[in-house]
Amino acid sequence: MIVVGPARINAAEQFAALSAGGAGGIATFVGLVRADDGVATLELEHYPGATEAALQRLVDEARERWGLIDARITHRVGAMAPGDVVVFVGTAAAHRAPALEACAFLIDRLKTDAPFWKKETRGGETRWVEPRGSDDAAAARWSV
C-alpha cells in the first residue's frame, strides 16, 4: 500500500495494518523531522502520480525479491515541524530476515528513486536541501 499526502502519519495504525496478515516477522522504519542545526520547518513537495508510481515499483520489487506478505510506504508532504513523522516504511514476511532486508531496501531506495523535494527553514532562511552522496551509496548497495 502506498499513501502520499499531507495527513499526519500514525505509526501505530500502520503497524496494526501490517500485523493483520499473519506474518512471522515485521520490520518498520519511521522517519522524523530532525531539529538539528536549528531546523524550524521542513517542507516536502512531490510530483503527484509519478511519486506514487515510483514507490509502487519499489514495493513490487521488494515483494518479489523477499517474498513479502505485505509492504507499505506512507510518506507525508507539505509543511512539517521537528518531531513530525515524515515517512513510515513497513514490511511483513514469514521470517525476520526478509522483513528486515526489504525494509532497509525500501527506505534506502525511496530516498533516491522517488521524486520528492525538500525545503528547510532555519533561522528565518529557507533553502532547498541537496541530495546526499550517502543516500546514493545506500541505494547502490541494493543493485542487482
Which domains does the chain carry?
A: 2-132 (3.90.1170.40)
Whole-prediction pTM value?
0.93
Asked whether residue 28 carries a pLDDT value surpassing 70, the answer given is yes
Mean per-residue pLDDT of the chain: 93
Please state, in angstroms and rounded to a whole number, the distance separating the CA atoms of residues 62 and 15.
Answer: 18
Asked whether residue 144 carries a pLDDT value surpassing 70, the answer given is no
Please state, in angstroms and rounded to a whole number, the distance separating the CA atoms of residues 7 and 25.
Answer: 27
Please state, in angstroms and rounded to a whole number, the distance separating the CA atoms of residues 44 and 91.
Answer: 24
